[in-house]
Chains A and B, each alone.
Chain A
Amino acid sequence: MRVQARFFAAYRELTGASRADVDLPEGATVADLIDTLREQGPSFGALPPKPAVAVNLQYAPPETGLRDGDEVAFIPPVAGG
């Protein structure tokens, strides 16, 4: 399956990317996606090991299962207001 990762604010600057398509085995979780990305090279390797993540616009803990076509956003610490 393929998911689309999105990076915002400080994470976008860290990775140098705002989006990335990632191929994962069936049954992969958010934690698997993070590990896969972090192993891909120096830029994604700069991501923290346990960033906050949203799957299809909802915050999702690391054990959340992913499905083909999911949008997975990496959410740096928030600073609205």
Chain B
Amino acid sequence: MPYAEVTADPLDPARLLARVGSPENGAVLLFLGTVRNHADGRSVSGMRYEGYEEMALDVLRRIAEEASERFSTPNLAVTHRLGALDIGEVSVVVAVSSPHRAEAYGASRYVMEEIKRRLPVWKKEFYVEGAPQWVRGTVPPADGSPAPDSGAGDP
């Protein structure tokens, strides 16, 4: 069963890695999204993540389940952070293991692409100079359905 979590607490990648390991799986893949110090040529000092928490957890669970089904990777875990983050802090973790590497790469990519498409989370960027701004986002699909081909491709 895949695992999904939305939390205001700092993320612990090792804890997620520990959830997905399995003696049957020779490939273990860890993706971290972190807050970077620049955007569109401006110096960024931090980021504040806001979520529609109840729905975000629901959507993230569904995304994790879809990835597990599409790529036959039940050993998958994803967490998304909310709240105020400093530069370099981890905002999202995807851990997945599979017998061979192709499925793990595909599933991890799928989870990230679908998070960008439809997870009800927003971020406000804070700059070294000037007023903070909401990061320009993606209009989610009206019915919330997964992409027929999210760009992740077949395993």
Q: Which residues of B contact A (CB under 8 A)?
A: 33, 49-52, 54-56, 58, 80, 91-92, 112, 115-124, 134-144
Contact = CB atoms under 8 A, between A and B. Distances in A.
- What is the interface of chain B mostly: helix, strand, loop, or mixed? mixed
Contacts of B136: 77, 79
Interface in A1-18: 6, 8-10
B122 A76 contact: yes
Interface residues of A, number: 20
A9 B119 CA distance: 13
A79 B143 contact: no
A60 B142 CA distance: 6
Contacts of B56: 80
A79 B140 contact: no
Contacts of B116: 78-81
Interface of A: 6, 8-10, 52, 54, 57-62, 73, 75-81
A79 B138 contact: yes
